[in-house]
Structure 1
Amino acid sequence: MVTLGAGIMILASCSGTQQKQSERKGLDASLVNNPHSANGTKNEGLPTMDFVDTAFDFGRLHEGEASSHAFHFTNHGTAPLLIANAAGTCGCTIPDYPHEPIAPGKSGVITVKFNSAGKVGSQHKSVNIFTNSNKGKHVLNITAEVLEGDNFFNQK
């Protein structure tokens, strides 16, 4: 009887462990790219992605007009910068980014194209950039005031 009870307790504790592990799936991604080690010392040899600017206002655009902006950055770190992915928060915002490593001290450009088709009014869009830099994720923001048809020429 004691053996049966011990077996049930082991099975119950295992199922509880599995439940706890599934509850822990939501770890903060910033832990993956933490520039500090577990003992609090700063890790060396990481790239950086330092932008000249991270926001751009297209101003007034005619609905259907497409426009783009070049965001310039430099790797001031000591290792090559790799951009794993760049994605707009909307299908109307398309980034074009370097797919080759950016060496320390070198610069690069991410061009963000915004298509205003079907986007009347105040627009706020962003592009998420995922890298191996000390920060990990970078965000670029664009804004525009998209005017519909005849309103465009009356409000310039």
Structure 2
Amino acid sequence: MKRTLNIVILLALTLGLFNAAPAELDKYDSKIAVIKFKTEVIDYGTVEQNSDGTRTFTFTNTGNAPLLITNVKTSCGCTVPSYSKAPIQPGDSGELEIKYNTKKLGAFTKTVTVTSNAEGGNKILKIKGNIVAAK
């Protein structure tokens, strides 16, 4: 009787492990996009008023699924984003161009929110600097 009970318990444990194994393996087979930025903060430094305010964030899709950026939102109308709407394939790189209006004098810090299908949801980037009067 004791031996039969031990066999039944061993059999139940073995079947339980086999049933759990495919779920564990599936998480490694899932396809996800991962967006990795070269830098998440661009410091303009001190720039002259009305100078070129265009800077570029470079990123790579380090995941194993195509990366699709669906929206880029800035914290004010003084910052205009430009990006490709085409999917970025695994291992490929892309660029997010930001144009800040350098007419207004003084220090600034702005955020850029990138919405995509990448793991982790939205990515928040920052730009900062100081605009001084032209000489």
AA paired with 2:43? D
AA paired with 1:51? F
Structure 2 equivalent of residue 32 of structure 1: none
Aligned with residue 100 of structure 1, among 86, 97, 100: 86
- Counterparts of 2:109 and 2:27, CA distance in 1: 36
Q: CA RMSD in A?
A: 1.9
TM-score, normalization by structure 1: 0.65
- Counterparts of 2:58 and 2:129, CA distance in 1: 20
Q: CA deviation at 1:63?
A: 2.5
Change (3 A) 1:133 1:99: same
Identity across the alignment (%): 34
Aligned with residue 48 of structure 1, among 34, 39, 51: 34
Structure 1 equivalent of residue 118 of structure 2: 133
- Counterparts of 1:140 and 1:42, CA distance in 2: 29
Aligned with residue 123 of structure 1, among 108, 111, 125: 108
TM-score, normalization by structure 2: 0.74
Larger radius of gyration: 2
Q: CA deviation at 1:123?
A: 0.3
- Structure 2's unaligned 5+ residue stretches are 1-25
Structure 2 equivalent of residue 70 of structure 1: 56
- Counterparts of 1:67 and 1:100, CA distance in 2: 25
Cα-to-partner distance string for 1:37-87 (whole Å, 9 max, x where unaligned)? xxxx95731101001101111111223333111111110111110101001
Is 1:90 matched up with 2:66? Answer: no
Larger strand share, 1 or 2: 2
- Counterparts of 1:65 and 1:80, CA distance in 2: 36
Count of equivalent residues: 110
